[in-house]
Structure 1
Amino acid sequence: MIDKLAWIAIHERKLLVTRSHGKTLFYLPGGKREPGESDIQALTREIHEELSVQLQPSSAHLLTRLSAQADGKPEGTLVQLTCYQALFCGELRPANEIAELAWIDAADRPRCSLAAQLVLDWLLQQRLID
């Protein structure tokens, strides 16, 4: 099981996703905890490293936890996403391993990793995106 924190940012009923250099599929921004970090500390660090913005920790709240087959890993290797929403300060810009960011809706589902597709489906069920 790969344990990952994910940031759910929605604007005009579209979900923010990122694509890493050398990859074709889009993923949710976020990453793994370092030793001693809380979920919010790790997510704040990862989002700053990937997208050059600062999350506002006091606004962060847990949305859902979902699991899916991890892309590029042996069959049966799952990624568990612990998904948070939070406000941010700054201008979103790809940084470090991130090549591109995009705002997507359900029509873009085929462009996403299996885990991101699962999150898209959940957000559709919650009527948070189109």
Structure 2
Amino acid sequence: MCIRDKKLLVTRSKGEKMFFALGGKIKPGETELECLQREVMEEIGCEPINPKHLETFEGRNHDNTKTIKMTCYTCELKGTILPCSEIEETAWIDKRYKEKGIQVASILELYIIPYLIEKRLL
């Protein structure tokens, strides 16, 4: 999770309507922090700096076909944010994202964003 000025950085993949948090699946033999480093670089071309464990969330995936566990870290970014790989768009969203017509993945909407609001991070 990259949070600046009470806004969360989210990404939208090509062909998708909803936005997701940065990140992805851990590859075999990879640590969580190595995955974080790789995914952030692959998705937005930046290096995550000072990652800190935030919380681990469990919920349904975006198409409600399975339960997922999402371990979240906060970090700063080194570099210019540029959509890379499968990413079509990035956005900084605040707690009023729904009013702006922005759709986010269910785990973000149901668990992560409410947690960030409760902790006064958004």
**Which of 31, 36, 52 is the aligned partner of 1:61?**
52
Please say if residues 26 and 116 of structure 1, whose CA atoms lie closer than 8 Å, have aligned partners that are also in contact.
Answer: no
Deviation >2 Å, runs of 4+? none
1:101 partner amino acid: T
**Which of 102, 111, 125 is the aligned partner of 2:103?**
111
**Which aligned pairs between 1:75-86 and structure 2 lie closer than 5 A?**
77-86=66-75
Q: CA deviation at 1:39?
A: 0.6
2:68 partner amino acid: V
Q: In the alignment, does 2:67 pair up with 1:72?
A: no
For residues 23-78 of structure 1, give each alpha carbon's deviation from its aligned partner in whole angstroms, at most 9, with x where no partner exists.
0011001011111111101110010000000112xx1110001112111242xx11
Please say if residues 43 and 84 of structure 2, whose CA atoms lie closer than 8 Å, have aligned partners that are also in contact.
Answer: yes
1:85 partner amino acid: T
Q: Percent identity?
A: 31
> TM-score under structure 1 normalisation?
0.86
Q: CA deviation at 1:119?
A: 0.8
Q: CA deviation at 1:84?
A: 0.3
1:15 partner amino acid: L
Where do 5+ consecutive residues of structure 1 fail to align?
A: 1-7
1:66 partner amino acid: F
- Match of 1:96, SS? coil
Give the number of aligned pairs: 118
> TM-score under structure 2 normalisation?
0.91
| Separation of aligned partners in 1, 2:53 and 2:13 | 25
